[in-house]
Amino acid sequence: MNIEVAKQNLSQVRVEPAQDRPLEEGQVRLRVKAFALSSNNITYAVFGDMLSYWEFFPVSKSDAADWGRIPVWGFGEVVESRSADAVVGELFYGYFPMSSELIILPGRADERGITDISPHRTALASAYSRYTRCVADPIYRSDREQQHMLLYPLFFTAFLIDDFLLDQAEFGSEQMVISSASSKTAIGVAYLARERGVKVCGLTSAANLEFTKGLDVYEQVYSYEQIDQIANRPSVYVDIAGNQDVLLAVHTHLSGLLEHSMTVGGTHWDHSADSAGQQVPAPAPQFFFAPTQIAKRTKDWGSERLDASVSSAWDNYVEWSTSWVEYQDVQGADAVTAAYLQLLAGGVDPRTGFICSLPTS
């Protein structure tokens, strides 16, 4: 079973049966045990063409131009194998489609994991083609699978954003401004920055203002209507909303004080900008692509040191998250589709995390 969306109309969803095809030599069939859904997955869809997210799990060639499968993070269990690199019953964490199963071609295998080297994935970001063996993963705990699926990929992105800014000495800024401050990625960034003593200002909707303030990771929190209250001091802007009007307002208010502007997400994907065509004051926003920072740090440090650094920060964060995250089990194609559409419409309480599963038949 596969849940697919129309690339040019993300609210159009269809459910397609899984193709019951035999494995070729070297392939492995994974049953998708469960996966998480959050606004992060909406960002994958919004930037699906620009960043090739649609290419990871392509639909049939006849429909590939119009339909796509949104990537999600979750766990997959090997149910059939024609590879010596993965045995039946083994559990992996990684990148999956919203589907009941996935066939991969393992390569570059070691005791820690495998990489899908299927021809359609070889030119894509390798970080998204890696599947970690849970038995060898220092992050994995059976009692934390929900947190792992929902929060870990977002926290890892937050870690990379924080690491990038630290590596650049914050571009000489004195504060960080983050849009979509109630999103789980933004919360991770703010949490890590606060740990380093960075002053963080969050921007969110009026409806989420009190929740975001209550997290106690932002020095100030303002609604999008209060941007003119942001302190006038050298700043970096981390744009997770992808809202052109907010971008223009922040750049205008901090004109001459904005040291760097980075685009991370598109949680406000359907916002019709009133400011379309207006010139955004410098600096020009730079897109942040997490795999680029992963590649840099892997080269600088090696993968073991990178994993250890993330793991150390993750343990404290995941314990803290229990005070505000609420997990909701979502089972079956209709329920998963409804959860996805709710996220797409921006109608999900920021506390909520969807943990989804689809039947195998």
Class of residue 158 by CB neighbours under 10 A (exposed 0-12, middle 13-18, buried 19+): buried
Claim to verify: residue 145 and residue 203 sit in the same structural domain: no
Given this model, what pLDDT does residue 274 score?
Answer: 52
Claim to verify: residue 6 and residue 122 sit in the same structural domain: yes
Nearest by Cα to 140 from 130, 150, 132: 132
> Residue 25: which H helix or E strand, with range?
none
3-state DSSP assignment of residue 165: helix
For residue 30, give its domain range.
Answer: 2-151+325-357
Rounded Cα distance between 102 and 96, Å, is 7
User: pLDDT tens, position by position, for the chain (361 residues)?
Assistant: 999 999 999 999 999 988 788 999 999 999 999 999 998 899 899 888 888 999 999 998 778 789 999 999 999 999 999 999 999 999 999 999 999 999 999 998 999 999 999 999 999 988 899 999 999 998 999 999 999 999 999 999 999 999 999 999 999 999 999 999 999 999 999 999 999 999 999 999 999 999 999 999 999 999 999 999 999 999 999 999 888 899 999 999 999 999 999 998 755 555 544 555 578 888 999 988 888 888 899 888 888 888 888 888 999 999 999 999 999 999 999 999 999 999 998 889 999 999 999 998 6
Claim to verify: residue 244 and residue 330 sit in the same structural domain: no
Contacts of 216 (CB under 8 A, 6+ apart): none
User: For the chain, what is the largest distance between any 2 Cα atoms, rounded to a whole number of angstroms?
Assistant: 62
Claim to verify: residue 183 and residue 271 sit in the same structural domain: yes
Given this model, what pLDDT does residue 272 score?
Answer: 44
Count: domains in the chain: 2
Rounded Cα distance between 264 and 270, Å, is 16
Given this model, what pLDDT does residue 305 score?
Answer: 87
Rounded Cα distance between 226 and 162, Å, is 25
Rounded Cα distance between 271 and 322, Å, is 31
Is residue 176 in a domain? yes
CATH of the domain at 107: 3.90.180.10
| Cis amide leading into 283 (omega within 30) | yes
DSSP letters along 336-354, please? HHHHHHHHHTT-S-TTEEE
Claim to verify: residue 7 and residue 145 sit in the same structural domain: yes
- The pTM score is 0.89
Claim to verify: residue 89 and residue 13 sit in the same structural domain: yes
Backbone angles phi, psi at 274, to 5 degrees: -70, -20
Tokens 């220092």: give the residue.
138
CATH of the domain at 194: 3.40.50.720
Q: Where are the alpha helices (DSSP H) in 13-139?
A: 39-46
Q: What angle do CA 88, 123, 307 make, to 5 degrees?
A: 60
Nearest by Cα to 187 from 287, 325, 71: 325
Claim to verify: residue 353 and residue 283 sit in the same structural domain: no
In the chain, count H helices and then E strands: 9, 18
Claim to verify: residue 13 and residue 143 sit in the same structural domain: yes
| Tokens matching residue 233 | 């001091």
Claim to verify: residue 80 and residue 161 sit in the same structural domain: no
